Chain A
Amino acid sequence: MRVTFTVNGRPQQADDVWEGESLLYVLRERLGLPGSKNACEQGECGSCTVRLDGVPVCACLVAAGQAEGREVVTVEGLAQYADARSRRTTQDTTATQDTTDTTDATTAADTTTATDATTATDTTAAATRQPPPLAPVQQAFIDTGAIQCGFCTPGLLIAADELLERTPDPSDADIREALSGNLCRCTGYEKILDAVRLAAARTTEAR
Chain B
Amino acid sequence: MEFLRPASWEEALAAKAEHPAAVPIAGGTDVMVEINFDRRRPDHLLDLTRIAELYEWQTGDQTVRLGASVPYTRIIERLAAELPGLAIAAHTVGSPQIRNRGSVGGNLGAASPAGDAHPALLAAGAEVEVASVRGSRRIPVEEFYTGVKRNALADDELIRAIHIRKAAGPQQFSKVGTRNAMVIAVCAFAIALHPDTRTVRTGIGSAAPTPVRARAAEDFLNAALAEGGFWDGGRTITPSIARRFAELCAAACDPIDDVRGSAAYRRHAVSIMARRTLGWTWEAFRAGGDTTGDTTEGGARCA
Chain A interface residues toward B at CB < 8 A: 1, 18-20, 22, 41-44, 46, 49, 55-58, 60-63, 65-66, 68, 159, 173, 177-178, 180-182
Taking CB atoms and an 8 Å cut-off, the chain B residues in 7-52 that contact chain A are: 25, 27-29, 31-33, 35-37, 41, 45, 47, 49
Determine if A20 and B35 form an interchain contact, defined as CB atoms under 8 angstroms apart.
Answer: yes
Determine if B97 and A58 form an interchain contact, defined as CB atoms under 8 angstroms apart.
Answer: yes
Q: Measured between alpha carbons, how far is A46 from B95 in the docked complex, in Å? A: 9
Q: Shortest CB–CB separation between residue A147 and chain B, in angstroms?
A: 20
Given A19-B3, A63-B45, A181-B181, A56–B96 Cβ distance below 8 Å? yes
Q: Shortest CB–CB separation between residue B264 and chain A, in angstroms?
A: 28
Determine if A181 and B1 form an interchain contact, defined as CB atoms under 8 angstroms apart.
Answer: no
Chain B interface residues toward A at CB < 8 A: 1-3, 5, 25, 27-29, 31-33, 35-37, 41, 45, 47, 49, 94-98, 100-101, 180-182, 297-298
Known A41-B36, A63-B32; 12 more pairs at CB < 8 Å: A20-B35, A22-B36, A43-B95, A46-B95, A58-B29, A58-B98, A62-B32, A66-B28, A66-B49, A181-B95, A181-B181, A181-B182
Chain A residue nearest to B43 in the complex (CB): A19
Q: Measured between alpha carbons, how far is A56 from B94 in the docked complex, in Å? A: 14
Which chain B positions have C-beta within 8 A of A42?
33, 36-37
Determine if A43 and B37 form an interchain contact, defined as CB atoms under 8 angstroms apart.
Answer: no
20 A-B contacts (beta carbon < 8 Å): A20-B1, A20-B35, A41-B36, A41-B37, A43-B95, A43-B97, A44-B182, A46-B95, A58-B101, A61-B29, A61-B33, A63-B3, A63-B25, A65-B47, A66-B25, A66-B47, A173-B298, A177-B298, A180-B96, A181-B94
Determine if A46 and B3 form an interchain contact, defined as CB atoms under 8 angstroms apart.
Answer: no
Q: Shortest CB–CB separation between residue A24 and chain B, in angstroms?
A: 9
Chain A residue nearest to B42 in the complex (CB): A20
Number of A-B contacts defined by CB within 8 Å:
91
Q: Shortest CB–CB separation between residue B271 and chain A, in angstroms?
A: 29
Which chain A positions have C-beta within 8 A of B181?
177, 180-181
Q: Measured between alpha carbons, how far is A65 from B31 in the docked complex, in Å? A: 14
Determine if B3 and A65 form an interchain contact, defined as CB atoms under 8 angstroms apart.
Answer: yes
Given A19-B45, A44-B182, A60–B3 Cβ distance below 8 Å? no
Given A43-B29, A181-B181, A60–B94 Cβ distance below 8 Å? no
Q: Shortest CB–CB separation between residue A199 and chain B, in angstroms?
A: 18
Given A19-B45, A65-B47, A57–B35 Cβ distance below 8 Å? no
Q: Shortest CB–CB separation between residue A65 and chain B, in angstroms?
A: 4
Which chain A positions have C-beta within 8 A of B37?
41-42
Which chain A positions have C-beta within 8 A of B35?
20, 63
